[in-house]
Amino acid sequence: MTRIDAKFAELNAQGKKAFVSYVMAGDPDFDSSLELVKGLPGAGVDVIELGLPFTDPMADGPTIQLAGQRALEAGMTLDRTLELATEFRKADNTTPIVLMGYYNPIYSRGVETFLSQAKAAGIDGLIVVDLPPEEDDELCIPAQAAGLNFVRLATPTTDDKRLPRVLQNTSGFVYYVSITGITGAAEAEATDVGPEVARIKAATDLPVIVGFGINTPAKSQAIASVADGAVVGSAIVSQIGAGKPVGEVLDFVKSLADGAHAA
């Protein structure tokens, strides 16, 4: 059982919904990013999605793109991202970390080497946006063999014919993308999301967490009420991009987490 599996089992036993936060590793710099990530569990975050900076983030809107650019300009690399996770693990051995990014940096490192390093750093799962199920032998299967969950994205365009393929080797949880398009592009609506979550849950025992388009505590609560939890990324990252102090960002995160936990 991974930390992700254990966390969802714990939440389920408590009758609670999950709050998942996304932050870009190294944004705006290593030390500030580490301080923020260390503060996330105390702000109510159940699972941390840690963005791996990349030069061509095709699924991300301007907010996340700019975060990646800030991180890269501050010297963030794959090695530094894993170092950040390692530092976090020195004080927290229970909060799950899902590394979210693109395949190129992993491929360049070599899958076997990367998986070994990620496991050693305390990474629990991967979301790799540009690897479809047809490429599961590339990373998904080796990752799960190494003890890492491989979290798959389902979207409004994932129809009943496609869904079983998407779910086939998914583990940890299913990330339902509430809108078509890039991150931060539109707002999620619970009335649209609810039936889609129910459709996915009918096909899997995994928790279904909804992300994209959630930017307020009320929205976090509304979305979590029709799913197993909510993910917020762009709204948090925009606070960092605006130069807000870490404490203020964490206060905002807590308000979002409180919303999801109230569902």
SS3 of residue 174 by DSSP: strand
Average pLDDT over residues 217-233: 96
Query: pLDDT tens for residues 3-27?
Result: 999 999 999 999 999 999 999 999 9
| CATH classification at residue 222 | 3.20.20.70
Report residue 41's pLDDT band, with 50, 70 and 90 as the boundaries.
very high
Amino acid letter, 226: V
Query: pLDDT tens for residues 180-208?
Result: 665 555 677 788 899 999 999 999 999 99
* Containing structural domain, residue 60: 3-261
Domain count, the chain: 1
Q: Please identify every residue annotated as catalytic.
A: 49, 60
| Cis ω before 57 (30° cut-off from 0) | no
Q: How far apart are CA 125 and CA 224, in angstroms?
A: 21
225 Cβ partners below 8 Å, 6+ apart?
Answer: 17, 190, 263
Query: pLDDT tens for residues 44-63?
Result: 999 999 999 999 888 788 89
Taking the CA atoms of 50, 210, 226 and 220 in sequence, report the sign of the dihedral they define.
Answer: positive
